[in-house]
Amino acid sequence: MSKEIIKIFDTTLRDGEQSPGASMNTEEKIQIAAQLERLGVDIIEAGFAAASPGDFDAVSKIAQRVQNSTICSLARAIDADIKAAGEAIAAAKMKRIHTFIATSPIHMQYKLKMNPDEVIRRAVRAVEYAREFVDDVEFSCEDAGRSDIGFMKEITDAVINAGASTINLPDTVGFRLPNEIGAMVKEMSEYTKGRAIISVHNHNDLGLGVANSLEAIANGARQVECTINGLGERAGNAALEEIVMALKTRHDIFKDYDTNINTKEIYPTSRLIANITGIEPQPNKAIVGKNAFAHESGIHQDGVLKHKETYEIIRPEDIGLDMEDTLVLGKHSGRAAFKDKLAKLGFTLSDDELNSAFERFKELADKKKDIYDDDIRALITSEMTNIEKAYELVAMQLMDSTGGVPSAAVTIRHNGEDITDAGIGDGTIDAVFKTIDRITGYQGQLIDYKVKSVTQGKDALANVTVKVTFNENEPAIIGHGLSLDTMLASARAYIGALNSYLSMEGMLKLRHTDSTETI
């Protein structure tokens, strides 16, 4: 008997990006989309095309790049939003528009200020217009968890007749318990049987996102919307890796269901997104946390040594984590060995990217005794971010002493010219950033600064993430820097944020959106 496939709808690039501090530039989003395709995600919600020129550009480029996953753009039930979504995904091999409107009494009364009949008319218009661009339309009853099920049936009938083939029931505020989600999904799936796929989108405000998603599957949902590492607004979304591995591990309960996910790509995907967003899963995070396969207790260690299944229900290798072979290459390793390691880690580079990455690897190997998989992942992630570098760090000299005045001399290359200046600050980092501001002419305001070691040891790579605003009227920009020297990594991160800002500013001049209506 063949198993039913549960569609995995990944919204890391849309809802996940709404995590505070998780914004990404276009090249980073393309990189993540390519990895989600390798992971086997059925539908990639690439963004909200009408939200900004940057979002439109990212969705459009992802649509051109990805071949084996459906590319989806979110759109409010507004013509301008739907038109932007349709245009952004036009080049996709498989494409979907996901449109939504709130259906709960509290949202209709206070947010929309619309009566139920007006909401239905707006929903029908949105689906009909979306069908002018795509055959695959998903409709969401926003705040379904607090909506009247009778009204949801009424609006569902209307949008299915208008052409929607997937009906999504989001628990937008993470309010419902598993038995309540199960009952709602069961009633709606029986009501729509044979006419549309029922989907769920569970938030994690009460820590129940994954439990609610599994209960929904057991009661008829055939699509789940989720994110890598559980990223998302507030407490986040249901975590893709937890849902998929729960279905796989508890096949005694979910024996009739399967997914198209290549689970060996779960860990590489998690690490890529953590490196790009700067948001690490908490150490005890299920499946992908750094302690997920760590055994501290002597009793546990003894049991695992005797037979792994005494305390491990998932094998690390099932999610692409090789516990035996994390120490990899050294300064005597050649290009072929380096390329082979990249392939094992899931990276596919062009010849130019490979040459550049190999040069950086050799530079690192000359300075660092032991190089680990996570070192390689961090190095390649930074190398593959092909954003145009208007400014590039050439050299830096620092001076600080107890009781002295911290100063920095920095050389930056811009338009083929090396520019050097020096400045002082309240600390070394402050001096570096102020000097960069003097050279570039852009005044950045540092909102957040994080530094972490990529692996263990005194010679570990420093991975610095900064969050900077260059215009008080625009969102903060994230920059990343990687180096054995924390100060160098910090300077690279700050300049990286500036380059991302300039890239986004260029898009603002190329395209504007008239989607100013709110619902």
In a domain, 515, yes or no: no
Same domain flag for 408 and 377: no
| Residue 116 to residue 141: CA distance in whole angstroms | 12
Going by DSSP bridges, is the β-strand pair 197-202/445-453 parallel, antiparallel, or unpaired? unpaired
Burial class (CB in 10 A: 0-12, 13-18, 19+), 331: middle
Going by DSSP bridges, is the β-strand pair 392-399/407-414 parallel, antiparallel, or unpaired? antiparallel
Going by DSSP bridges, is the β-strand pair 137-142/166-171 parallel, antiparallel, or unpaired? parallel
Residue 127's CATH number: 3.20.20.70
What's the token pair of residue 157?
């009938």
Residue closest to 166 by CA, chosen among 150, 188, 149: 188
Residue closest to 43 by CA, chosen among 158, 165, 175: 165
Indicate the residue among 213, 246, 277 that finishes a domain: 277
In a domain, 65, yes or no: yes
| Residue 488 to residue 478: CA distance in whole angstroms | 17
Domain of 68, in residue numbers: 4-277
The pLDDT assigned to 328 comes to 59
Q: Are 511 and 56 contacting, i.e. CB atoms less than 8 angstroms apart?
A: yes
Same domain flag for 26 and 166: yes
Strand runs labelled E in 53-93: 70-76
Average pLDDT of the chain is 89
Same domain flag for 130 and 263: yes
Same domain flag for 227 and 338: no
3-state secondary structure of 459: coil
Residue 116 reports pLDDT greater than 80: yes
**15 in a labelled binding site:** yes
Q: Using the 8-state DSSP alphabet, how is residue 51 labeled? A: S
| Residue 366 to residue 78: CA distance in whole angstroms | 57
Which residues on adjacent β-strands are paired with residue 393?
412
* Most confident listed range (40-44, 48-52, 390-394, 455-459): 40-44
**201 in a labelled binding site:** yes
| Residue 492 to residue 171: CA distance in whole angstroms | 40
Instruction: Summarize pLDDT for 60-73 with one digit per residue, the tens.
Output: 999 999 999 999 99
Mean pLDDT computed over 271-296: 85
Residue closest to 429 by CA, chosen among 462, 458, 453: 462
Predicted model pTM: 0.83
**203 in a labelled binding site:** yes
Mean pLDDT computed over 284-301: 70
Same domain flag for 150 and 273: yes
Instruction: Summarize pLDDT for 47-61 with one digit per residue, the tens.
Output: 999 998 889 999 999
| Ramachandran area for residue 481 (φ above 0: left; ψ -120 to 50: alpha; else beta) | beta
In a domain, 514, yes or no: no
Same domain flag for 112 and 55: yes
3-state secondary structure of 423: strand
Going by DSSP bridges, is the β-strand pair 197-202/166-171 parallel, antiparallel, or unpaired? parallel
Same domain flag for 350 and 417: no
The pLDDT assigned to 304 comes to 42
Burial track 28-46 (b if 16+ CB lie within 10 A, e otherwise): bbbbbbbbbbbbbbbbbbb
| Residue 24 to residue 204: CA distance in whole angstroms | 22
| Residue 379 to residue 211: CA distance in whole angstroms | 36
What's the token pair of residue 365?
């190997």
Same domain flag for 110 and 207: yes
Same domain flag for 354 and 404: no
Mean pLDDT computed over 342-348: 78
In a domain, 288, yes or no: no
Q: How confident is the model at residue 372 (pLDDT cuts 50, 70, 90)?
A: confident
Domain count, the chain: 4
In a domain, 216, yes or no: yes
What is the identity of the amino acid at 454?
Answer: V
